[in-house]
Structure 1
Amino acid sequence: MKKIMVPVDFSEFSEYALEVAANLAKAYGAEIQVFHMLGISESVLAANEAIEMAEAKYYMGMAKERFATFLNKDYLKGIRITEIIQNYKVFSEINELAKEQDIDLIVMGSHGSKGLSEFFVGSNTEKVVRTSAIPVLVIKQRRPQFKMEKVVFACDFKKENLFAFIHAVNLFATHGAQLNLVYVNKPNEYYITKAELDERITYFMSKVRDQNVTNMNVAYVTDYSIEHGILEYCKQIQADLVAIPTHGRKGWAHFFVGSLGENMANHAEIPVMTFRI
């Protein structure tokens, strides 16, 4: 991991994300790019080009002043920080910027079950996740000692999830994290036998034999809901975070049919990371 992006709206939630990003940057020797999206509408800007330019510079200057205060944190000392301010208004543009900057991970703040915070109003966190080809780590509370030593990867072991799985292996397992794959079987719904699941798992494991994986577990649990089963398993093993594959623009994946991904991001007490399928 070399570059981490943190979208910032200067709220306490984006500060939570910034502190987590700082922990990761120190652990992996990475740099942080803090990104602020002005989102100035055309109605705010003047019709006159010269005045419009002056107004844009004014808002840009305000953002830079806020960055000066926002980034004055002891936990950022020794970390290379790059500030990016753009007048983006469409969340897919964050993905384009992240690809352009060769970002490895996006860390963003969320208000959790009470709704998403300020900059990430409504379903905007979901919009970022759906348009991001890069893993997104969602943080909902302050975690000054954040770590990624014990990770749960929720998976149904279908072939369509293989790319996300390999991406997760590269990010977690190769850095010494314990990767715990969990499949949740619902009685009378999506139910498969142990033999069928073993066949899927064997196929998955065959695809990561060259990834130098030495610390991986597979769990098979039964629960009345996928979300509850995953969260209970996370509590059981005291996981640091839960990773979820997503279809991106097509919506949340699986078994992640409906709003499971959103529910996980909102209700999970631990951080949630998404990987594009």
Structure 2
Amino acid sequence: MKTILIPLDFSETSANALKYASNLLKALHVSRVILLKTFYKSIYEQLLPSADFVQLSNEDMLEERTEINQQLKVLANELLSNCNPDLQIETVLSERPLLRAVHDVIERQKPDLILYGSDSANGHEESYIGEQVIAIAKTSPVPVLIIPSDVSYQKISRALIPCDFAMTSRLNPVSSSGSPLRWWNPQLTILNIDPRHSHLEHEAEHLSALEDFLSGMEYKVSYSDDEDVVNGILSFADEQDLQLIVALPGKYSFFRNLTHKSTTEAITLNAKHPILILK
């Protein structure tokens, strides 16, 4: 039974991610979707007056909570109307901070995938979830699918996997039975970015290892000598007809090698392709 967790914040970025999910669900055999919204008020927000010098009462917070619950139910009904009627949709309103709320749901509900939106470089609105995109992606024990706010749904038939050929063992999650990639079974392009061409020394061994790890999957191998890893990946993805970029787990992932700031910039600059971060 496949379960997808979708954190929401009612922003345009979040709405686009939900629209993408709606189309994605039509193509997948997903049994359950969990829509998560946080209603977190810090102790300072509860005690101190707002910018309008109005202190929120318990009644005010209860009314706001009720309105959010109603909005969640509307979104759940809209999603269900566009999907398989057998799909189970649950709504969760948490009073914890977003990251903790996400991990609470993961622990209790065991989702197979988390899907949420990221803000684009040209976006006029910054979503709360978009600001937390890296924290969720790096700490989640389950795969994460990040949908840039400018991306519209396309059937995932071709996916790009940047990979250091010296660390082909990191490809294990790609071919595992529980991998979301198995939901789509796209043609894979394995991209080795190596400006020093060091892969040529052991190329036969690397290609043999790829064949072992990707047995039964359709793939091809490409190379880039771009000194800027992220630029090389995004430029290659732009040149090809790809619907997904896949980040491998561990410290050798092209995202994990970056600082928090540069990772955020990389995802923000990537306005054209969803990113699947495997675990």
* TMscore range, shorter length: 0.7 to 0.9
In the other structure, the counterpart of 2:50 is none
1:138 counterpart = 2:150:
no
Match of 2:221 among 218, 223, 243: 218
1:273 counterpart = 2:276:
yes
In the other structure, the counterpart of 1:238 is 241
* CA shift digits 1:182-234 (9 cap, x unpaired): 111124xxx5232324423422431343xx32x21121221121112212221
- 1:132/1:93 CA distance change after superposition, 3 Å: same
Structure 1 portions without partners, runs of 5+: none
- 1:93/1:73 CA distance change after superposition, 3 Å: closer
Match of 1:98 among 106, 122, 135: 106
- 1:218/1:82 CA distance change after superposition, 3 Å: same
2:161 partner SS: strand
- Distance in 2 (alpha carbons) for counterparts of 1:205 and 1:96: 38
- Given the two structures, how large is their TM-score scaled by the length of structure 1? 0.80
Deviation at 1:159, TM superposition (A): 5.0
In the other structure, the counterpart of 1:172 is 181
Deviation at 1:109, TM superposition (A): 1.1
- Distance in 2 (alpha carbons) for counterparts of 1:205 and 1:171: 20
Match of 2:126 among 117, 128, 131: 117
- Distance in 2 (alpha carbons) for counterparts of 1:170 and 1:195: 31
Q: How does 1:243-254 map to 2 (within 5 A)?
A: 243-247=246-250, 253-254=253-254
1:151 and 1:178 in contact (8 A); partners too:
yes
Structure 2 portions without partners, runs of 5+: 48-55
Q: What residue identity is the alignment partner of 2:121? A: S
Match of 1:66 among 71, 83, 99: 71
Q: What residue identity is the alignment partner of 2:240? A: I
1:27 counterpart = 2:27:
yes
1:25 partner SS: helix
Q: What residue identity is the alignment partner of 2:115? A: V
In the other structure, the counterpart of 1:37 is 38
Q: Percent identity?
A: 19
1:45 and 1:56 in contact (8 A); partners too:
no
- Distance in 2 (alpha carbons) for counterparts of 1:78 and 1:233: 33
1:39 partner SS: coil
In the other structure, the counterpart of 1:6 is 6
- Distance in 2 (alpha carbons) for counterparts of 1:166 and 1:261: 25
Deviation at 1:168, TM superposition (A): 9.3
